[in-house]
Structure 1
Amino acid sequence: MTPTAKTLVSIAALSAALSAAAVSASTAKDAAFAIPAVAAPQISVETLDSITRELSSDAYEGRAPATAGEDKTVAYIIKRFAEAGLQPGNKGSWTQEVPTLEITGSNYTPLTVKVGGQALSFAYGNDYVAGSYRAVPETRLADAPLVFVGYGINAPELGWNDYAGIDMKGKIAVILINDADYDAKDETGPFKGKRMTYYGRWTYKFEEAARQGAAGALIVHDTFPAAYGWNVVHSSWSGAQLFVQSADNGMSNTEANGWIQKPVAEAILKASGQDLAALTAAARQQGFKAVPLSATASFGFDNAVKKTVSRNVIGILPGKKRPDEYVLYTSHWDHLGRCNADKTGDDICNGAVDNATGIAAMTAIAEANVNAGAADRSQVFLAVTMEESGLLGSKFYAENPVYPLARTVGGVNMDALAPGSAARDIQATGGDKSELTAYVNRAMKDMGLYQSPEESTEKGFYYRSDHFSFAKLGVPMFALGRGSDLVKGGKEAGRAAAERYTVNDYHQPSDEYDPSWDWSGPVQDTALYYRLGRMLAMTTHWPNWHKTDEFRLIRDKSLSGK
């Protein structure tokens, strides 16, 4: 089937191709509430192809927020939402304004470290990257003492505090990426073993360093625990950095945040009479004490500060029975804009897979729901901005919801639907966290799929997409997708394709549309997301997190006032 043909693909055909797949058995508790039957949708390949092709074209310049590329992107999404049959979702408007702070660094000095009577110099870009979250014209850190703070975690509920007994005022924290048991063989350990917790994410580490009063924070990059290479760090931290405006203009943050290459950290610690490997081993033990280094660091840069506005795009399909109860579909429209040029001189990070495909899938789901007729509950389609800047668009909506979170039943997030073969399995990011698992089991049974264990749990994918903004405020969100057991090539082919994208294309100019793509995999993903959302929209059930989950208490509090 050619992707340019205006073809509607029935998932019933895919299910037949997957008839040999094992089916995940429903658990006894799945039967505690009724899950309505949902007919197999018809997903438009033309919609998936045309939207992905359009949004990832050079005309959109990489879809950076608060640029001309945003204006084109927002206008195009509104056009496609309207054509799909949605209504404006924000009191007659298609958009929600997100007040944005854009800071672009320039004139970076080397990172100069004075230690043991010598001066070490490290180049911006190749050795370190940095930026400021503060709306100030320049950033200068001069001879700031360096302190190795292990994983930079303060977790009172675990009796763990890497900052215990140290005053960080005026100092720069040197922090390990991930958390203390990321390379465990299982999920046993204070930080869930190999499964990354939020304490392992770089965003948390900068937040905690600021709470501790540090002048700066430098994360030590290591490819495996970070889950991506230095090329991703370098590309992501190049050019304008975006934030949501705050009342204090970001002054509650550190003066500067950044990353250093692992060899840079090794050199600094060696000159300080320390060993990175030995300190890393010590940092994995509860009771670790921060280690002041006999070194100071200096670096600086200028900041071009601009206040502007970005936009979330919101469409709605009102419910026919309970229109004041909402099911949410989320997907981010933004990407990196212009980034580090590749060897051909191409400096546009087009973001075809990440995440033009997600917007395409969400629009195809809207079309399928309109064709099926309005569901009992309202369905909200939210295309968010600034995901690449730290989930900021979804965070802004979650904190300033158009539709109250207490009336939001749950939702489905879509991010980076890789072209290629359909699969025999699915993987749930974050594991079994809520009663949404029952809906997943039903969808797998209907589609002839099985669930395989989540791979690479140490990479913390649960904290790296927009569902997390809603989960941490209590809303149960589906975060899952195609597994690696591909119909064409099996697990070996699936894992190779994922590795190839991560190493070669993720956050690079090479993430571009290809007219030869196989759309069977994204069609399968989209049909799964449709089923899950439609089930929620047709039931009277209000799913909750499991009693032991970290988001349960906030959801209970939210629902108590529903």
Structure 2
Amino acid sequence: MNKYLQSAVFSAVVFSGALMAQEAPKQFDLAQYKQDVKTLASDAFGGRAPLSKGEQLTTDYLVKSLKKMGLEPGFGESYLQAVPLAKISADQNMSLSIGDMTFKNGAEFTARTQRISQQVALNNSELVFVGYGINAPEYQWNDYDGIDVTGKTVVVLVNDPGFATQDNRLFKGNAMTYYGRWTYKYEEAARQGAAGVLIVHETAPAAYGWGVVENSNTGSKFTLVDEQKNQQQVGVMGWIQHHVAQQVFTAAGLDYSQQKQRAQLRGFKATPLKLKANLLLNNQIEHAKSYNVLAVLPGKKRPQELVLMHAHWDHLGTRIDEQGKAQIYNGAVDNASGVAGVLSLAKAFKQQSQQQPFDRSIGFASFTAEETGLIGAQHYARNPSVPTKDIVAFLNIDGMNVNDGVNYILQYGEGVSELESYLERATKAQQRFVKPDPRPQNGLMYRSDHFALAQAGIPGLLFMSLGDTDPDYIAHKYHKQADDYDANWSLGGVKQDLTLMSSILAELANNQDWPQWIEASGFKSRREQDNR
């Protein structure tokens, strides 16, 4: 019996209310949770950047904690999985020239590369406006139709036409698809042969202000390295401010707003801007290894089957400002709060299993380099600790509600996978309700490590509380220095959500279900390949 048929049979029999083999833990050590966050988000850890002293402190802390709990190593005899990275540090003394205009790095544009090259340049590269830069046959949409952008630099709008028009007949309307994410824009431009990409930043469709773009793209960046030293990737990965785009279009004899409106229509045709771009990236390249962390609580009946609980450990690290002063980005909520949550669950499940083991194995993971593009998760998806066909689900925390509890839980995506029914049951048991993502236009489904596992066919759930209980968070703390530990946090939401996650984790660890993808997608077809 294949896993999908097995899942259907099991769902019909068990979900009517049969008791689980082992109850979910309900008690968590919140004093230890608070200490974990305080430690991980302390200045001593320097913002937990990959390949820094902060990484060593972080992974040592995690391994020591997991080992002390009595959990087994997740990678053979080790709790660590080496993730080979290239650290690319572009000289920030650069400028972007377009026609006779020159723009300032950081304030007006950002640029970086993932190519393993000491120099990457745009040399009189022709600019072409390609609308949203989307090639999506299933939506009958191709912004590259009829244009050859080989060696050229494409100017691209962020998000997708559905958000711009709020028309549910285009893509998914207000809800961002993967085609709206900046990562996709670069990937598609590379497939089209472009030399560079300049994404136009606007706060509403991007879902964050320019400060996030600047902080995320002007420091050292990390990348996995392929056999071609990433030469197949687009050379210059850039962003430009909205006012810069307006200036460029005016110089091209075009009205930016009119061109943006035109790009929202099916049948849009790319427009050469008859301007040339020049930019030189001088890069320092450092090859090194970062590390994913995984500990396992072995299952008794089906130990080869693995349910994963995860939170990325990295943040933005430490940067030197123009006055030469170190600025530490401690990332307390994003994502020391999530890592502490995984440790709390690991401890509780280990203690609970001493009474009666769970049927399946449970992994407690913390991957590296999420902030640079889900790199640690991508490496794990390509080099999993067990075959992907044996990974049941991936539960991912990316920021917890450290304030008071609420009467709802946020759900990211709708009609995507059967894990949504698990979320619904666990939420009802707490007399709460499932609240749809209030900001579907932000595309959070595609912005954390569960997405890298989804691309390998593994269904996941995202648990994220960034801003829904702290209206000030996104504007003044997200990816900023103000994301610090606060001794006054009530942790009511943490207790509430750990209990909910515990319920889902225990249910998956005890049953024989294989949650399926509902929505037709590459994720679903990838999972079906594993289950043939």
Which TM class, normalised by the smaller chain length?
Answer: over 0.9
The answer to whether the 8 A contact 2:79-2:293 is kept is yes
After superposition, what is the alpha-carbon deviation per residue over 1:224-271, rounded to whole angstroms, capped at 9, x for unaligned?
110100000000112210001211111111221110000000110011
Match of residue 463 from structure 1: 446
Distance in 2 (alpha carbons) for counterparts of 1:411 and 1:555: 13
SS of the aligned residue for 2:208 comes to coil
Looking at structure 2, the residues matched to 323 and 342 of structure 1 have their Cα atoms a distance apart, in angstroms, of: 53
Pick from 59, 63, 85 the counterpart of residue 44 of structure 2: 59
Residue pair 2:11, 2:513 contacting (<8 A) in 1 also: no
- Corresponding residue of 2:112: 131
Match for residue 292 of structure 1 among 272, 275, 278? 272
Shift of 1:191: 1.4
Shift of residue 132 of structure 1?
A: 1.4
Q: In structure 2, what residue type is equivalent to 1:558?
A: D
| One-letter identity of the residue aligned with 2:501 | Y
- Decide which of 398, 410, 431 is 1:448's aligned counterpart: 431
527-536 or 353-362: which moved more?
527-536
Picking from 63, 66, 71, the partner of 2:56 is 71
Q: 1:17 corresponds to which residue?
A: none
Tell me, yes or no, if the aligned pair for 1:235 and 1:339 is still in contact at 8 Å.
no
Which stretch shifts more, 220-229 or 83-92? 83-92
Take 2:346 and 2:196, find their aligned partners in 1: how far apart are those partners?
A: 45
Question: What whole-Å deviation, never above 9, does each CA across 1:316-346 have from its counterpart, x for those lacking one?
Answer: 0000111111101121001111136599955
Task: Determine the C-alpha separation between the residues in 1 that align with 2:48 and 2:102.
Answer: 35
Partners of 1:397 and 1:478 in 2: how far apart? 17
- 2:324 paired with 1:352: no
CA distance 1:511–1:345, shift in 2 (3 Å): farther
SS of the aligned residue for 1:249 comes to: coil
Label 1:285 to 1:201 Cα distance change in 2 as closer, same or farther (>3 A).
same
Is the 1:99–1:309 contact (alpha carbons within 8 Å) kept by the matching residues of 2?
A: yes
Q: Is the 8 A contact 1:357 1:417 kept in 2?
A: yes
Q: Deviations 1:121-163 (Å, cap 9, x if unpaired)?
A: 1111100000111111122212211100100001122221111
1:112 corresponds, among 97, 112, 126, to 97
Amino acid at match of 1:306: E
Count of residue pairs the alignment pairs up: 517
2:471 aligns to what SS in structure 1?
Answer: helix
Question: 1:220–1:260: 8 Å Cα contact kept in structure 2?
Answer: yes
Compared with structure 1, are the counterparts of its residues 48 and 327 closer, same or farther at alpha carbon in structure 2 (3 Å cutoff)? same
Aligned equivalents of 1:381, 1:345: Cα separation in 2? 37
Contact kept, 8 Å, 2:412 with 2:444, in 1: the verdict is yes
Task: Give the structure 2 partner of residue 380 of structure 1.
Answer: 363
**Is residue 342–residue 509 contact of structure 1 (8 Å, CA) maintained in 2?**
no
Counterpart position of 1:7: none
Q: Distance in 2 between matches of 1:271 and 1:559?
A: 55
The one-letter amino acid of 1:45's match is L
Which structure 2 residues correspond to residues 88-237 of structure 1 after superposition, within 5 A?
A: 88-114=73-99, 119-185=100-166, 188-237=168-217
Give the aligned partner of residue 416 of structure 2.
Answer: 433
User: Counterpart of 1:424?
Assistant: 407
Segment drifting more, 287-296 vs 134-143: 134-143
8 Å CA contact 2:297–2:361 kept in 1: the answer is: yes
Structure 2 counterpart of 1:510, one-letter code: A
Distance 1:510 1:346, change over 3 A: farther
| Selected match of 2:456 from 473, 484, 487 | 473
- Does the 8 Å CA contact 1:108/1:302 hold for their aligned counterparts? no
Query: Measured at CA, do residues 408 and 193 of structure 1 come closer, stay the same or move farther in structure 2, by a change above 3 Å?
Result: same
In structure 2, do the counterparts of structure 1 residues 262 and 438 end up closer, same or farther at CA, with 3 Å as the change threshold? same
232, 237, 243: which one pairs with 1:257? Answer: 237
Aligned position for 1:526: 498
Which whole-Å deviations, capped at 9, do the CAs of 1:59-80 have from their partners, x for residues lacking one? Answer: 1111110111111111000011
**What is aligned with 2:319?**
339
Name the CA distance, whole Å, in 1 between partners of 2:330 and 2:275: 41
Identify if the C-alpha distance between structure 1 residues 33 and 460 changes in structure 2 by more than 3 Å, giving closer, same or farther.
farther
What letter matches 2:485 in structure 1? Y
Look up the equivalent residue of 1:465 and give its one-letter code: S
3-state SS in 2 of match to 1:121? strand
Deviations 1:39-58 (A, max 9, x none): 45111102221111111111
Scaled by the length of structure 1, the TM-score of the pair is: 0.89
CA–CA separation in structure 2 for the residues paired with 1:211 and 1:532? 39
Query: Is 1:425–1:482's contact at 8 Å kept on the other side of the alignment?
Result: no
Is 1:501 the counterpart of 2:473? The answer is: yes
Matches within 5 A, 1:311-350: 311-339=291-319, 341=321, 345=325, 347-350=327-330
Q: Is the 8 A contact 2:111 2:218 kept in 1?
A: no
Structure 1's 123 and 415: CA in aligned 2 closer, same or farther, altered over 3 A? same
Q: CA RMSD in A?
A: 2.0
TM-score by length of 2: 0.93
Measure, in 1, the Cα distance between the counterparts of 2:123 and 2:164: 36
Residues of 2 paired with 1:235 and 1:39: CA distance? 40
Contact 1:314 1:381 in 2 (8 A): yes
1:400 matches 2:383: yes
Structure 1 residues 287 and 249, CA gap change in structure 2 (3 angstroms): same
SS in 2 for 1:545: coil
The one-letter code matched in structure 1 to 2:218 is S
Q: What corresponds to 1:47 in structure 2?
A: 32
CA contact (8 A) 2:398 2:464 kept: no
SS in 1 for 2:347: helix
Matched to 2:526, the amino acid is I
Tell me if the contact between 2:399 and 2:464 (Cα under 8 Å) persists in the aligned partners: no
User: For structure 2, which runs of at least 5 residues remain unmatched after alignment?
Assistant: 1-7
**Which structure 1 segments of 5+ residues have no match?**
1-27, 484-493
Query: Identity over aligned residues, as a percent?
Result: 39
Whether the 8 Å CA contact 1:341–1:509 is kept in 2: the answer is no
Alpha-carbon separation, structure 1, partners of 2:56 and 2:66: 15
Measured after TM superposition, the shift of residue 475 of structure 1 is 0.9
User: Is the contact between residue 125 and residue 153 of structure 2 (CA under 8 Å) also seen in structure 1?
Assistant: yes
Q: Given the alignment of the two structures, is residue 271 of structure 1 paired with residue 251 of structure 2, yes or no?
A: yes
- Structure 1 pair 51/172, CA: closer, same or farther in 2 (3 Å)? same
Question: Which among 517, 536, 540 is matched to residue 508 of structure 2?
Answer: 536
